[in-house]
């Protein structure tokens, strides 16, 4: 199977698809640390460390599959024709261009769940229209990683296009009945580097029980620690959050110790380490991240969890194989 991996990042999609039986003909990312990680672990992979705008996609024509974990806001819908021209100068435009040049049988785009409602749904509608105009049948679905053997609540939008004239039948993977907990994910996790808390932060977080957050602090400490956000309503459960052993982890972000998205270890008063982060994202222990600690956290936090990518890879393989017969 010939497949192309765009915005490869730390390798979540590539590893999942490798496990499903795909070998990439090229992986493209402009981030040097990501490319170092990919090359260090898979010296035989063809890694192209360049901006997607500078890639000539004509030499990859008629491929089976393209995957693209487009970084969050691919574009804000700006035009009025719901067409490709309206997306010029954006990463989405580059992906659509790549699809035009390579003519894949299937493409898969991963993005944040918020894309579905972004700009009252117009952004997503534009993307769908652009691909339909290019001759694809497009379906999308929000998948939660915890339903696909990942010990993490993480919802992401997957947009799948199949060449309309080939009658490819892509079915989104079936959710698993078995929900993994943080305890399952971190059994025998190897030692590794990680962040530490400042004394001030440590003294506050050590007051939080497993599964708890800022609400478990005495009121005067809540006000002091949270400042202005104490008085704002909504979405604050990530503040001073300590994880719980017996449920899936909360969504990992680019850093385990941002004040709004705290990911404190259940027992010890510290952020999750690099290898713990990697376990929660279902990277194998021998997948070695390169670059600074903060770059490693970012590569892991931004990735598509390997097991979720694997489920999408198997679904793609099934769709392509049935089509070939």
Catalytic residues: 72
Query: Residues for the chain: how many in total?
Result: 325
Helix (H) or strand (E) holding 31: none
Phi, psi of 208, rounded to the nearest 5 degrees: -90, 130
Direct distance between the N- and C-terminal alpha carbons of the chain, in angstroms, rounded to an integer: 14
Distance between CA 252 and CA 277 in Å, rounded? 8
Q: What is the DSSP string of 70-134?
A: --S-------SS-SGGGGTTSHHHHHHHHHHHH--SEEEEEEEGGGGTGGGGHHHHHHHHHHHHT
Sign of the CA dihedral with 270 first, then 274, 278, and 279 last:
negative
DSSP-based three-state secondary structure for 162: strand
Burial of 51: CB neighbours in 10 Å, binned 0-12, 13-18, 19+: exposed
- HSE-CB of 168 using CA atoms within 13 angstroms: 27
Distance between CA 94 and CA 84 in Å, rounded? 10
Distance between CA 301 and CA 291 in Å, rounded? 14
271: which DSSP letter? B
Residue among 264, 263, 272 at smallest CA distance from 193: 272
């Amino acid at each position: 199977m010939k497949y192309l991996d765009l915005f490869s990042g730390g390798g979540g999609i590539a590893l999942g698809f490798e496990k499903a039986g795909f070998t990439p003909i090229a992986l493209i990312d402009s981030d040097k640390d990501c490319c170092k990680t990919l090359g260090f672990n898979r010296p035989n992979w063809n890694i192209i460390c360049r901006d997607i705008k500078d890639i000539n996609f004509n030499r990859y024509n008629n491929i089976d599959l393209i995957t693209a974990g487009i970084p969050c806001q691919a574009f804000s819908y700006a035009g009025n024709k719901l067409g490709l021209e309206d997306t010029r100068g954006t990463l989405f435009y580059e992906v659509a261009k790549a699809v035009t040049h390579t003519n894949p049988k299937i493409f898969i785009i991963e993005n944040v769940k918020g894309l579905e409602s972004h700009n009252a749904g117009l952004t997503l509608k534009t993307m769908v229209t652009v691909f339909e105009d290019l001759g694809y049948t497009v379906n999308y679905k929000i998948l939660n990683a915890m339903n696909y053997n990942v010990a993490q609540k993480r919802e992401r939008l997957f947009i799948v296009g199949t060449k309309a004239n080939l009658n490819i039948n892509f079915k989104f993977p079936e959710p698993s009945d078995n929900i993994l907990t943080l305890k399952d994910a971190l059994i025998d996790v190897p030692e590794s580097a990680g962040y530490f808390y400042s004394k001030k932060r440590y003294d506050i977080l050590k007051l939080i029980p497993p599964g708890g957050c800022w609400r478990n602090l005495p009121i005067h400490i809540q006000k002091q620690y949270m400042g202005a956000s104490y008085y704002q309503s909504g979405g604050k459960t990530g503040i001073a959050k300590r994880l719980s052993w017996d449920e899936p982890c909360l969504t990992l972000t680019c850093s385990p110790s941002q004040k709004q998205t705290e990911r404190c270890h259940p027992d010890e008063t510290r952020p999750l380490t690099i290898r713990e982060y990697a376990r929660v994202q279902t990277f194998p222990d021998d997948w070695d991240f390169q670059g600074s600690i903060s770059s490693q956290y970012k590569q892991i936090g931004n990735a598509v969890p390997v097991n979720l990518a694997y489920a999408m890879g198997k679904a793609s393989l099934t769709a392509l194989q049935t089509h070939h017969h």
